[in-house]
Structure 1
Amino acid sequence: MKFRTIMVKYCFLFLLFSTLTFSQTPKVNVEYIQSSYAIWKNYHFNNILLSLDFKALDVNNTEISKENFLNELTTGKYLPVEIESEKGFTYKLFVINSKADTSIKATIEAQSFDILQNLKREILPFPDFSFKDIDGNTIDFAQLKGKIIVLKCWFIHCASCIKEFPSVNNLAEKYKSRNDIVFISLAEDSAEALKIFLQKKPLQYLVVPNMKDYMYTTMGVGAFPTHYILDKEGKIYKILSNEKELEIALDKIAHLE
């Protein structure tokens, strides 16, 4: 009986150690991704989705809040790296190599600051609105209550905004049978300019022109593209920086509702 008890304890400790070791293993060579800005950028923008929900670890592998994680990134001392995990996203802070391109540090600082500000706005009520689309039709917030609203903020000369058109169009197509999900795009440009542009680059969203002041002043948009998801109560569910994050977040709330 004593031998059996010892073996059970040994197996438990072994499994615990294995789990901890697994959870701390980076999915990438941390030094390699800092070897140039281009290599880091390719890794970061394809694998690190800071606007989504994730498990956050500090440099000592201690779990911390997402807010504290982002605060640490704004100091310019760390870069986020994806860690092996059996469920969901897990990111850990690693100290930036002193020889790394300073653009890596600057980009992480700026991006993390914007995401941190967006995080603080989650679950807040979105302000009432009444928009006119490019055809003069009214889009009224009050009439959309009880629906999930997806807002894309963009402008014609934003290359990143246009690059994601195929992805966001596919997303709109995916949910076109859902009467409780509405896709609206807010653009800086005039209705006339948008009509000409969208003939060549169609967008399967309702398109609202002349929204530059509204996006900067009322919404506080600091970068383009920016995507908002509003829940059925009219509250901000997520503010996202790219179509990959948008798809994951929308899939999650669409299946919750």
Structure 2
Amino acid sequence: MKKSITIIIAFLIFTSSFSQTKLGNPEVDPIQIQKSYTEWSVYQNKNIMLSRDFTALDSSSKEISKEAFLNQLANGNFIPIRLKSEDAVYYYKLFKILPKTDTSIKATINQIGFDAYKNYKMEGTAFPKFSFKDLEGNLVSNESMKGKIIVIKCWYIHCTPCIKEFPQVNKLVEEYKDRKDIIFMSLAEDSAEQLKIFLARKPLSYSVIPDMKVYMNEALQLNSFPTHFILNKEGLISKVLPNFESLEVALAKESKL
């Protein structure tokens, strides 16, 4: 019996060590990346997608929940870095922000973490009741959308990042045009008159619902744009996303469920 236990323990240690070998070093130097706000910002925007599924590690490399990870980003003194790995899983680890680091980096990370934490807490909840008419006069509501995946883009005319991703989201609509169970709609702050003039120059393939500023502020409590929602066929929020890149990944996953 003792021999069997010894073999089992040895096997567990071996498999644990093997598992750990899949995780490599940080893909960027955590110290070097903090020396320039611009360099850090480029890395953050291209490589850290907090809305996606990932394995979260604290500063001591201990696995923690995504909720705890985002909470530490929002309220702590950490910078997230992706680790190199041999599998397809994303591993994000927290590294301490150094005392001499530009305070703008910490402030921005805290805001990013706050937004990501807030978005994460909305997942699995019911999307607030709505019944609106789009620019074409079509009525859209929770009831009329039952049994469908709904992709919602929240934006306004003077939001540069919102407009910049128009070509990408239009391409996404084209990609899913044969999926009758996927609906693309957008909520815009601006009036119908303003939107019609603007969209004549900058087409958007989503159905567009005007005058949504109060709804987005009060019902959705949005404080950053663009914000994308994916609702599942039960009307629950599957994902809340800050940009096209994360939307594309999340929709690909949701569309296969």
Aligned to 1:122: 123
Rounded Cα–Cα distance in structure 2 between residues aligned with 1:142 and 1:31 = 52
Aligned to 2:238: 237
Q: 1:128, CA displacement in angstroms?
A: 2.1
Deviates more, 1:68-77 or 1:222-231: 68-77
Aligned to 1:191: 192
Rounded Cα–Cα distance in structure 2 between residues aligned with 1:247 and 1:113 = 22
Aligned to 1:68: 68
Query: 1:24-43 alignment to 2 at 5 Å?
Result: 24-43=24-43
Rounded Cα–Cα distance in structure 1 between residues aligned with 2:25 and 2:13 = 19
Aligned to 1:79: 79
Rounded Cα–Cα distance in structure 1 between residues aligned with 2:242 and 2:223 = 10
Aligned to 1:207: 208
Q: 1:127, CA displacement in angstroms?
A: 2.0
Aligned to 1:98: 99
Rounded Cα–Cα distance in structure 2 between residues aligned with 1:232 and 1:56 = 28
Paired residue secondary structure (2:81): strand
Counterpart amino acid of 2:134? D
Rounded Cα–Cα distance in structure 1 between residues aligned with 2:250 and 2:163 = 20
Aligned to 1:165: 166
Q: 1:13, CA displacement in angstroms?
A: 5.7
Deviates more, 1:11-20 or 1:38-47: 11-20
Deviates more, 1:133-142 or 1:229-238: 133-142
Paired residue secondary structure (1:25): strand
Deviations 1:200-244 (A, max 9, x none): 111110000000000010111110000000000000001010111
Paired residue secondary structure (1:184): strand
Paired residue secondary structure (2:229): strand
Deviations 1:177-196 (A, max 9, x none): 10000000100001111111
| 2:133 is the counterpart of 1:132 | yes
Q: Which runs of 5+ in 1 are unaligned?
A: 1-5
| 2:152 is the counterpart of 1:151 | yes
For residues 21 and 35 of structure 1, do their structure 2 counterparts lie closer, same or farther at Cα, with a shift above 3 Å needed? farther
Q: 1:18, CA displacement in angstroms?
A: 4.9
Paired residue secondary structure (1:238): strand
Rounded Cα–Cα distance in structure 2 between residues aligned with 1:234 and 1:14 = 45
Aligned to 1:59: 59
Paired residue secondary structure (1:84): strand
What is the TM-score with the length of structure 2 in the denominator?
Answer: 0.92
Rounded Cα–Cα distance in structure 2 between residues aligned with 1:170 and 1:98 = 44
Say if 1:76 and 1:106, in contact at 8 Å, map to a contact too. Answer: no
Aligned to 1:44: 44
Counterpart amino acid of 2:213? K
Q: 1:34, CA displacement in angstroms?
A: 1.1
Q: 1:95, CA displacement in angstroms?
A: 0.4
Q: 1:14, CA displacement in angstroms?
A: 6.3
Counterpart amino acid of 2:69? F
Counterpart amino acid of 1:232? K
What is the TM-score with the length of structure 1 in the denominator?
Answer: 0.92
Deviations 1:36-81 (A, max 9, x none): 1110000001110111221000111110000000111122410110
Q: 1:12, CA displacement in angstroms?
A: 8.1
Paired residue secondary structure (2:60): coil
Counterpart amino acid of 1:126? F
Deviates more, 1:179-188 or 1:19-28: 19-28
Aligned to 1:141: 142
Say if 1:79 and 1:96, in contact at 8 Å, map to a contact too. Answer: yes
For residues 141 and 81 of structure 1, do their structure 2 counterparts lie closer, same or farther at Cα, with a shift above 3 Å needed? same
